[in-house]
Structure 1
Amino acid sequence: MKLSAAITVAAVSGAQAFTAPVNKPLRPASSLSVTQGDLDGAQSMIDGILTEKNCGPVFVRLAWHDSGTHDVSLADKEWPASGGAIGSIRFDPEINHGANAGLAGAIKLLEPVKEAFPGVSYADIFQMASARGIALAGGPEIDMKYGRVDATSPEECSPEGNLPDAEAGPEGKFGGPGGTASTEDESAAWHLRKPTPTEVEFGAEKTKFTDGSATKLADGSETTAYTAGGSPWVEDWLVFNNSYFTTINDASTDEELVKCTSDKCLWEDAGFAPYANKFADQEAFFESYAKAHKALSELGSKFEPVE
């Protein structure tokens, strides 16, 4: 997929598939109790969107950029002060943070799901779309928990700066003083240890892998039904597997594949390298990935019972 990784958690590319900014909330959060029937219906609709649009990568990126704002040092504050998977990414200013470029269109793709099942929170819809995107691309089934409560206003958005950089800025440092706490560091590895998911703000407008030509799906078939553009980490970017861990550290791979400093450091840092090497085995990667995805999807969330 158009994905990168940090520690055992893979993170989504900055493919510029969607660009329209959101300047106002879409639909208000619902106070209705969610039922299992609502969740089943929402999942069916999401599966249909994924099958038609092949938009799993941008749904994963949307969910992770919503949850990845979580600051564990604020977890003892009144919810939702610590950010996280609370659906706040749908609001301006958060949707217009630099790291979230292109994600407004992903929210619009999921808006019909909210309209059909208003009892399902945006936070649940975003995380469900991510998990289903992974599963339908051939990845592991994620043991998801639902019943998340939504943030209700722009005032509950996290400040800009909680998501990390893939490359150093003009002064040679990753991150900056913004956000709820500084993530600034001259080392990519130590910068990654401060935030959670990785995002990328550069890359080619399109490559031979993303120019609208046929690309492989998880079942072995090919499709041209995707939004062209962006730079992938791996050739078969609509298939979820462990090829990231066999590609990034291989100097002979195609020059159009993305290899960020924040990717390469996983094989260079003593703490990360054992995992990067371990995940050359797909079974080991899937086992760890499923646990990491579930944990990330619940960061900062407040849950109400599913009826």
Structure 2
Amino acid sequence: MAANVSRQFARSALRSSTRGAFVAVPRQAFRNQGRRFYSSEPTKSGSSAWLWLSGLAAAGAGGAWYYTQQGGVSAGSTPKVVTNPTRDDYQAVYNEIAALLEERDEYEDGSYGPVLLRLAWHASGTYDKETGTGGSNGATMRFSPEADHGANAGLRAARDFLEPVKKKFPWITYSDLWILGGVAAIQELQGPTIPYRPGRADRDVSFCTPDGRLPDASKTQKHIRDIFYRMGFNDQEIVALIGAHALGRAHTDRSGYDGPWTFSPTVFTNDFFKLLVDEKWQWKKWNGPAQYEDKTSKSLMMLPADLALVQDKNFKKWVQTYAKDNDVFFKDFSDALVKLFELGVPFPEGQERWVMKPRSGSS
């Protein structure tokens, strides 16, 4: 209970300082209070792609799985055959990811969390409802050309981060592992719970999707709808998903853009929407691609695609809703993210979703 109280205190303090100076706080001080801070790695793309965003059917309830009594395979150990991995088995994988997020703080501003979310998002966001291609069922970003798409620049860091987890738990597919990594990232970033169910199969290079399926940060309303409608989302779900921009920052050496979206880019909140509504935005005068900066501090950024959310009447009403109520945003974001993560996955009818217990406690 004490941990939950301290986490709520830290979250409230950060939310109340939205208009204050962006101050770097020693990570260990917050860890001692049950908090962890993260920063995203935006994409690098020649087409200004969005900044957030083996064929063996052996995932989920089917197949044969091999692992030791301790949940991993170690030198000299005899693998244990498991025909039906349980919720506890997947919780053990989640725990391993969460522990690594805590232990490995050398990346960016102290965590691999946001880049794990980006990996899960980009693996899922290639889905096309008309052709049934793309999506998280396949983990085809393991191969060229998909791994080399501009929108996926930098995601090797996330894939490499999860490789020791895959080696410890060889029974889980990459497809399920990447999505579970995204679930862990959100929950360990103090975001909402994200129900999860396994069932994704790893596919070969022939299933790689064409470039250009992820959103372009330089475009506005029509492009946004074209991209998300292709996946099967409505306007409300689109706005909820873009709320992930509460996390992280852009980098000139990756995407060409520069700066954080919020004053607390390492905490998952509704601040992205609050700032869109409350702040005044102007074009930034610089040599980089067209982006906005806030007039007050000139330390925050927004993309043309972000401002489109308040320039479009139907998008704007959802921005205002989420700006006013963080709980509503958390619920709608969770629902939309679950839908994104499950697009095109052939789950057995009636398969249960599980809520993985966060290492940092309930949000």
Aligned partners of 2:215 and 2:151: how far apart in 1? 9
Aligned partner of 2:129 among 57, 67, 72: 72
Structure 1 match to 2:262: 234
Counterparts of 1:95-244 in structure 2, within 5 Å, are 95-151=147-203, 153-167=204-218, 174=219, 188-196=220-228, 203-205=251-253, 231-244=259-272
Alpha carbons of 1:157 and 1:254: their partners in 2 closer, same or farther (altered >3 Å)? farther
Give the aligned residue type for 2:303: C
Q: Structure 1 residue 282: deviation in Å?
A: 0.4
Q: Kindly provide the amino acid, as one letter, of the partner of residue 192 in structure 1.
A: I
Return the alpha-carbon distance in structure 2 between the equivalents of residues 264 and 254 of structure 1: 18
| Alpha-carbon distance in 1 for matches of 2:262, 2:298 | 11
| Residue of structure 2 equivalent to 1:265 | 308
Contact 2:189 2:266 in 1 (8 A): yes
Q: Work out which of the two has the higher radius of gyration on C-alpha atoms and give 1 or 2.
A: 2
Query: Would you say the 8 A contact 1:47–1:132 is kept in 2?
Result: yes
Structure 2's unaligned 5+ residue stretches are 1-38, 45-53, 65-83, 106-110, 229-240, 281-294, 353-363
Percent of aligned pairs with the same residue?
33
1:48 partnered with 2:91: no
254 and 102 in structure 1: CA distance in 2 versus 1, 3 angstrom threshold: farther
Query: Following the alignment from structure 2 to structure 1, what is the Cα–Cα distance between the partners of residues 343 and 166?
Result: 22
Secondary structure at the aligned position of 2:227 is classed as coil
Q: Give 1:230 deviation, angstroms.
A: 6.5
Report SS of the residue matched to 1:74: coil
Higher RCO structure (Cα 8 Å, ≥6 apart): 1
More helix by share: 2
1:216 aligned residue: none
CA contact (8 A) 1:30 1:118 kept: no
SS for the counterpart of 1:246 is helix
User: Following the alignment from structure 1 to structure 2, what is the Cα–Cα distance between the partners of residues 62 and 290?
Assistant: 17
- Letter of the structure 1 residue corresponding to residue 167 of structure 2: E
Aligned Cα root-mean-square deviation (Å) = 2.9
Query: How high is the TM-score relative to the length of structure 1?
Result: 0.70
Name structure 1 gaps, 5 residues minimum: 1-11, 18-26, 76-81, 168-173, 175-187, 207-228
Q: Residue deviations 1:144-163, cap 9 Å, x none?
A: 12121122x11111011111
Cα distance change, pair 115–230 in 1 and its aligned pair in 2 (3 A) = farther
